[in-house]
Structure 1
Amino acid sequence: MSISTKNYSFVRNKLLNKEEIALLDVREEDPHAREHPLFAANLPLSRIEIDAYAKLPKKNTPIVTLDDGEGYAGLAAERLISLGFSDVSVFEGGVQGWKAAGGEVFKDVNVPSKSFGELVESKRHTPSLSAQEVKQLIDNKEDVVVVDVRRFDEYNTMSIPTGISVPGAELVLRLPELAPNPKTKVIVNCAGRTRSIIGTQSLINAGIPNEVNALRNGTIGWTLAGQELDKGQTRKFKDVSEDTTSEAAQRARSVADRAGVKRATLADVSKWKSQSERTTYFFDTRTPEEYEAGHLSGFRSVPGGQLVQETEMVAPVRGARIVLVDPSGGSVRANMPASWLAQMAWDVYVLDGIKSADLAEQGAWKAPLPSLPSVDSVDAITLSNWLKSDSNTIAVDFSTHANYVKGHIPGSWYALRSQLKDAIQNIPQVDRYVLTSSPAELSVFIAQEFQALIKAEVFVLEGGNAAWSNAGLALEKGPSHLASPPLDRYKRPYEGTSVDPAAMQAYLDWEFGLVEQLGKDGTHHFWVL
């Protein structure tokens, strides 16, 4: 298949003109995080069938695939074309070609959001306190509330003593009842810098009367100061009164209006869903639990704080339209994230006038998928019997490395689809292989590739790892059989509780340098309210 190529000036002009483009880094996350262009969204070759329809909702969006000379970009382009995408090209020369043309490259993940956060602090001088100062406040039993704006699972892993979990978009709605006395000092923390800067500035922008400070450098700063973090905490925000919601709604709407956020109706949504010339993302910014209890058709659950932090992970088409909705919180959790997305140069709307009767759909969001290929499959109980009685059967797990380590079929091997040829060389030769994954559909898409490389029988576990667990069968934990290196996950220097202090400090030093890198790149159109 002959696939066209695109160069640096093509991509740069699209970004400068605010025209739609999806620049997709199709390597695994770890190599992606080592260096990539600012708006190169990571969509690994391994997961294209699983992610493409949700992340690229319009089939004629200009798509440019990028690798670093491994050949993945061409394979990804072929796969996208086979899925029905009509405007797909390969970036000439890969990452090295981008650099040779004078393009700036960035490391780490979620770089657009992190560099924007640093820009906000540099322009607004967002107030912050050191770890030592915050510890002194807590130790002295001062009137202070610490709010942790990360996802709950991150907070539960490690948190600042006394901290309460209030994920970012919830802050303006929940804080008035967590700190009803305007003299109470408020400390906002995340793991590093971005989310605490955005959270602190959100409260300031919304006119909250309390003194608000970010915890400088988050849990990293706390650890580097030699101070102990709590583990396993479960303190969460509570529901708030109608009066509190109403006041928060006015504050958030005012901020959104000042940021130039536009308004939309259900009639607009209906029109945009069928529009062929424009990409539109539809996101519900409430908690996942509220979303599952009832939501609008066609809207994906993306809590607002994480949306601001990880925008390119759910909206890789730069220049697209984004529509947010928060039907049950006075639109606070849509208006506040929208105010930030507008400053990040997104064309962003908040959906107004939604009634409870409109929230007709229930349950978790399901990714739209292409039709599944026909494969030979086996149920969990049969596989369990094969594994017990027959040493000639091996299960191969294509889940993320993180999920594999948390729990996998005993004796199964972890493999990466992008490294399939090498992985097969590392797995013992047997007469029968059973492929599994989370989500279950991933192994279905891999089966034919796997079969083409070996002579043995290949089956897919019906329902994947979830079916194994639902059948009450035991799981094994840990990185026991790795047929591939765990390249699908970049180890963030702010995750977990056993990170090298030198890596933490290097991460902070990198964040401080992002504003300068933004200036060199020049394609972002960011501005600060």
Structure 2
Amino acid sequence: MKSFPTRSYPFVREALLARREIALLDVREEDPHAQAHPLFAANFPLARIELDAWTRLPRRDVPIVLLDGGEGFAARAAATLEALGYTNVALLDGGLQGWIAAGGEVFRDVNVPSKAFGEFVEAERHTPSLSAEAVDALLASKEHVVVLDARRFDEYQTMNIPGSISVPGAELVLRARALAPDPATRVIVNCAGRTRSIIGAQSLVNARLPNPVAALRNGTIGWTLAGQTLEHGSARQFDPQAGRDTATLEPSREAARALAERAGVGRVTLEEAARWAGDAARTTYRFDVRSPAEYERGHAPGFRGAPGGQLVQETEMFAPVRGARIVLLDDDGVRANMTASWLAQMNADVYVIDDARPADLVETGAWRAPAPAAPHVASIAPEALAARLAQADHGTVVLDFTSSANHVKAHIPGAWWTLRSHLAAGFDDLRGVPDAKSYVAVCMTNALAPFAAPEVAALTGKPVEVLEGGTSAWIRAGLPVESGEIRLASPRIDRYRRPYEGTDNAREAMNAYLEWEYGLVAQLGRDGTHGFFVI
């Protein structure tokens, strides 16, 4: 394998402090990444590089520094990125252990820059909050109170505060005046833990909402630890027209614009942003911060959908190049300015487009990620594979490269779930898989399997096909599926289980998570590279 240059801890640190562009990428799976990583190391799993790189790293000569935990993933990722056209790829000297040995701070969990920023905001601004017990008492007493859940709608449906309404982060300032028109109505903002509660509540305070505002302290975790009951499967959402009448929109728009200007947000036209996107010397991300439904109905060419609340919550995942330009667009003058005000305070170079018109939103549908052409691999139709598997002694083993969560939910009977990153010497994941005369590589949509198939062939020396249309096509054909944690050839490390997810979390894990969040401000101080400020 080709040797790549290395970059030291002082090199990376100096680039971060100087706000020079750098993409520090942890190419391990999400769970090991969540155990320990540098503050601005974005998770960029080796297994998905071909699917993610051209979206998340739009400039091919951006400085890239790759790290792993000694597994050899970084060198493999470097070779893949070079094959995709990236020209400035290096490895972190010594990997994660080298970072630690040089005195670098390491952080746990995921989306740490955003979560640490939330704690920083609360420490600086003393964001008002109420305990779970206090909010429960307000609700029980029939006080004039509205609870707004700032998470994604799918998270809200998992569990929510009784009676609360789903109003994802960037929607809060746009919608709150309509949802609580009486200034005496108390507005409570919650999420699962702390970050989106804090940022959401502080957004309303900053935007001069006349109502009393507070964050639900510790979110649904705090609610659960207090022994209070959550709802499940709720469907209450804001009215899409809420906040768009002149009486409520104008004060929200004026406040959002003023906040963006105070934070140092710039202005740019659609035409200029398009020119920036082609700039070979600077990375530019373009995001449409409206809701997914609005984005799919119509968006400007080149703009990726990134609901504002999630963009602030998962900044390093949407924009892993630290020091890049970020351009935001909406159709109301509120959501982009509010989102930009927070990203600027996170030390990003942010701009808002003011001149977008409905006629500019000419593309429809979900974001179509640019990706290289998949290797040419023999394929097999779902019905043909089903017929083969029905034969005795067919000798075919199906390897499923989808996410482990997708595999557990539904997979082809007999399929073995496998991590693509483990298809290399030194990993024995296939040792427990039955001997095969041939293999069929599948994933949910047939996006990843064609890239994995040649690696299976190289590792096993056996013929490999891919399933046309993936498991989704198998299901559409009415063919049977299995579910459950069965035939897992690899460990389920592709996703880190958040302590606040689901309904079966241990009290110890939830308390430990809160203690970790409380300690983030001190960690920021020790790390010293963040550049955060609060207006």
Query: Which TM-score band applies after superposition, normalised by the shorter structure?
Result: over 0.9
Task: Find 1:373's aligned residue among 372, 375, 378.
Answer: 375
Structure 2 equivalent of residue 388 of structure 1: 390
Which stretch has the larger CA shift, 155-164 or 399-408? 399-408
Structure 2 equivalent of residue 13 of structure 1: 14
CA displacement at 1:462 relative to structure 2? 1.4
Structure 2 equivalent of residue 424 of structure 1: 430
SS in 1 for 2:98: helix
1:229-308 matches, within 5 Å, as 229-238=230-239, 239-240=241-242, 241-243=244-246, 244-308=248-312
Structure 2 equivalent of residue 477 of structure 1: 483
**CA deviations over 1:448-502 (Å, ceiling 9, x no partner):** 1100111332110112222222323333222121000011111100000001110
Structure 2 equivalent of residue 208 of structure 1: 209
In the alignment, the residues of structure 2 paired with residue 337 and residue 426 of structure 1 have an alpha-carbon distance, to the nearest angstrom, of: 48
1:488-507 matches, within 5 Å, as 488-507=494-513
In the alignment, the residues of structure 1 paired with residue 483 and residue 122 of structure 2 have an alpha-carbon distance, to the nearest angstrom, of: 41
SS in 2 for 1:411: coil
SS in 2 for 1:283: strand
Change (3 A) 1:438 1:331: farther
**CA deviations over 1:388-415 (Å, ceiling 9, x no partner):** 2354222211111112222222221111
SS in 2 for 1:150: coil
SS in 2 for 1:389: coil
Contact 2:285 2:327 in 1 (8 A): yes
In the alignment, the residues of structure 2 paired with residue 190 and residue 440 of structure 1 have an alpha-carbon distance, to the nearest angstrom, of: 34
Amino acid at match of 1:262: G
Structure 2 equivalent of residue 47 of structure 1: 48
Contact 2:277 2:285 in 1 (8 A): no
In the alignment, the residues of structure 2 paired with residue 471 and residue 289 of structure 1 have an alpha-carbon distance, to the nearest angstrom, of: 28
CA displacement at 1:2 relative to structure 2? 2.1
CA displacement at 1:386 relative to structure 2? 1.9
In the alignment, the residues of structure 1 paired with residue 270 and residue 158 of structure 2 have an alpha-carbon distance, to the nearest angstrom, of: 39
Task: Find 1:355's aligned residue among 354, 357, 360.
Answer: 357
Amino acid at match of 1:260: G
Amino acid at match of 2:362: A
TM-score normalised to structure 2 length: 0.97
Amino acid at match of 2:510: M
Amino acid at match of 2:98: G
Amino acid at match of 1:53: W
Amino acid at match of 2:192: A
In the alignment, the residues of structure 2 paired with residue 36 and residue 493 of structure 1 have an alpha-carbon distance, to the nearest angstrom, of: 18
In the alignment, the residues of structure 2 paired with residue 406 and residue 335 of structure 1 have an alpha-carbon distance, to the nearest angstrom, of: 39
In the alignment, the residues of structure 2 paired with residue 183 and residue 409 of structure 1 have an alpha-carbon distance, to the nearest angstrom, of: 56
**CA deviations over 1:300-352 (Å, ceiling 9, x no partner):** 1111100000011111000000001112xx12111111100000000001111
Structure 1 equivalent of residue 122 of structure 2: 121
In the alignment, the residues of structure 2 paired with residue 462 and residue 331 of structure 1 have an alpha-carbon distance, to the nearest angstrom, of: 44
Task: Find 2:323's aligned residue among 309, 312, 319.
Answer: 319
In the alignment, the residues of structure 2 paired with residue 465 and residue 207 of structure 1 have an alpha-carbon distance, to the nearest angstrom, of: 50
Contact 2:325 2:350 in 1 (8 A): yes
Change (3 A) 1:331 1:429: farther
Structure 2 equivalent of residue 466 of structure 1: 472
Which stretch has the larger CA shift, 317-326 or 432-441? 432-441
SS in 1 for 2:312: helix
Contact 2:208 2:255 in 1 (8 A): yes
Change (3 A) 1:427 1:310: same
Amino acid at match of 1:129: L
Structure 1 equivalent of residue 461 of structure 2: 455
Structure 1 equivalent of residue 444 of structure 2: 438
Structure 1 equivalent of residue 339 of structure 2: 337
Amino acid at match of 1:253: R
SS in 1 for 2:499: coil
SS in 2 for 1:489: coil
| Identical columns (%) | 59
CA displacement at 1:248 relative to structure 2? 2.0
Q: Any gaps of 5 or more consecutive residues in structure 2? A: none
CA displacement at 1:246 relative to structure 2? 3.1
Q: Does 1:398 align with 2:401?
A: yes
SS in 2 for 1:59: coil
Amino acid at match of 1:438: M
Amino acid at match of 2:6: T
Structure 1 equivalent of residue 98 of structure 2: 97
SS in 1 for 2:187: strand
SS in 2 for 1:384: helix
In the alignment, the residues of structure 1 paired with residue 143 and residue 507 of structure 2 have an alpha-carbon distance, to the nearest angstrom, of: 29
SS in 2 for 1:145: strand
Amino acid at match of 2:380: V
1:84-233 matches, within 5 Å, as 84-233=85-234
CA displacement at 1:439 relative to structure 2? 4.2
Amino acid at match of 1:308: V
Amino acid at match of 1:257: E
Structure 1 equivalent of residue 412 of structure 2: 409
Q: Any gaps of 5 or more consecutive residues in structure 1? A: none
CA displacement at 1:21 relative to structure 2? 0.2
SS in 1 for 2:398: strand
SS in 1 for 2:327: strand
In the alignment, the residues of structure 2 paired with residue 356 and residue 470 of structure 1 have an alpha-carbon distance, to the nearest angstrom, of: 36
In the alignment, the residues of structure 2 paired with residue 473 and residue 300 of structure 1 have an alpha-carbon distance, to the nearest angstrom, of: 34
SS in 2 for 1:485: coil
In the alignment, the residues of structure 2 paired with residue 384 and residue 350 of structure 1 have an alpha-carbon distance, to the nearest angstrom, of: 52
SS in 1 for 2:37: coil
In the alignment, the residues of structure 2 paired with residue 186 and residue 40 of structure 1 have an alpha-carbon distance, to the nearest angstrom, of: 35
